[in-house]
Amino acid sequence: MSTEKTTNPFLIAQQQVRNACDALKLEPAAYEILKQPLRVMEVAIPVTMDDGTVRVFPGWRSQHNDAIGPTKGGLRFHPDVYVDEVKALSMWMTFKCAVLGLPYGGGKGAIKCNPKELSQGEIERLSRGWVDKMAQVIGPEKDVPAPDVYTNPQIMAWMVDEFSKIRQYNNFGLMTGKPLIIGGSAGRSTATARGCVFVIKEAAKKLGLQIKGAKVAVEGFGNAGSFAAQLMSELGAVIVAVVDSKGGAYDPSGLDIKAVYAWKEKNGTVKGAPGTQDISNEALLTLDVDVLIPAALENQITAAIAPNVKAKIVAEAANGPTTPEADEILYKKGTFVIPDILASAGGVTVSYFEWVQNLENFYWTEEEVNSRLERMMVESFNAVHEMHSKQKVNMRSAAFMVAVNRVVQAMRVRGWLH
């Protein structure tokens, strides 16, 4: 795995925090505390495979900062995950929570595995094994995981069950993104996409752009990407292209998103959907569209691609899709980037709602969840936009400044800084 300054996500996160601390003229100790996680737990998880052999999988949990509240963040299963990635993602979660004003710090977890090569039984044993090894450092009052890349509500359910066995009582507040029947929240599955669409609408207002008829391209067609495409098309936008890890579907006159989704469900990819042309990932990123939604993995928009990005709005539904060099290029050419820590914060916001509902044992309707989510996303967008206008910085710098300021205020009143 490359550790060049441009692609190592931990170095990128540190630079973003350093820039925000400098812009806010904070005391040096603030950056020293924020530049690394408070703790990182690494575990080895032995799993009995279906053939009777035992394999040991490495797992991590990074807890970046808990000045404002328990740490919170996803848990990913991925064959290429590595510790610096987990640390960076936990840092971004701290600031994602802070920019939304949630009473959380940032956490992130991972297991290095290829879930596509594992049976359901093996995935269940691996999931329970991670909880067994992490039980001392997680819990509703300490650190609250959630689904992420290649994890889902079923995996959360197994983990909650394992933790409840360890604690000897039902402990549904341990995880968010659970099935509804055991304390999940209405509206959780669409929350990341919905939050992203709420801020796209706000950005469009500021730029004088009509959503109805606007051309949109979506990179990544998993949970966030597919729902974002669906929600944007419901608002009258024209989705001209989508890609997933196996290929893309393009139709300049607009895709039928429901048909593309049905095709992907049946064939495992959007590529080849009836009536569409193939399109590569890179070609999609540089299409002549109004809105580009990167909803895949890190470092997709690079310095090589950024000069050719034609979208007026780039709304980052994924974590870290734009490299710092690309960010600078986009800002200089006037592209309005809604950064990941704001654009993809709908998921953690509804995770927060789920945790609150678990603690109260009182559940809200989907309408209540969505209207509260809209209010928080719009307020946060406006706070970041105000900082962007006042300080004459790009939206990412503005979001980090709003977030870092909130975390440092908490650290200061707690006596971490003198």
CATH number of the domain where residue 304 is located: 3.40.50.720
The label of the residue with tokens 């710092």 reads 324
* Catalytic (active-site) positions: 108
63 plus 99 within the same structural domain: yes
How far apart (Å, rounded) are the C-alpha atoms in residues 400 and 417?
19
Residue 100 lies in a domain: yes
Structure tokens at 359: 């603690």
Residue 347 lies in a domain: no
Residue 359 lies in a domain: no
196 plus 65 within the same structural domain: no
268 plus 306 within the same structural domain: yes
Domain count within the chain: 2
Sign of the Cα pseudo-torsion (195, 201, 204, 205, in order): negative
Question: Considering 316, 334, 352, which residue would you say is the last residue of a domain?
Answer: 334
Residue 350 lies in a domain: no
The per-residue DSSP string of 165-194 comes to HHHTS--GGG-SS--GGGTPPTT-TTHHHH
Using left for φ > 0, alpha for ψ between -120 and 50, and beta otherwise, residue 101 falls in left
130 plus 260 within the same structural domain: no
195 plus 329 within the same structural domain: yes
CATH of the domain at 136: 3.40.50.10860
Residue 389 lies in a domain: no
52 plus 166 within the same structural domain: yes
Residue 255 lies in a domain: yes
Residue 109 lies in a domain: yes
| Ordered per-residue pLDDT tens for the chain, 418 residues | 333 345 788 998 999 899 999 999 999 999 999 999 999 999 999 999 999 999 999 999 999 999 999 999 999 999 999 999 999 999 999 999 999 999 999 999 999 999 999 999 999 999 999 999 999 999 999 999 999 889 999 999 999 999 999 999 999 999 999 999 999 999 988 999 999 999 999 999 999 999 999 999 999 998 899 999 999 999 999 999 999 999 999 999 999 999 999 999 999 999 989 999 999 999 999 999 999 999 998 788 999 999 999 999 999 999 889 988 899 999 999 999 999 999 999 999 999 999 999 999 999 999 999 999 999 999 999 999 999 999 999 999 999 999 999 999 999 999 999 8
162 plus 199 within the same structural domain: no
151 plus 237 within the same structural domain: no
Range of the domain at 208: 191-334
Residue 233 lies in a domain: yes
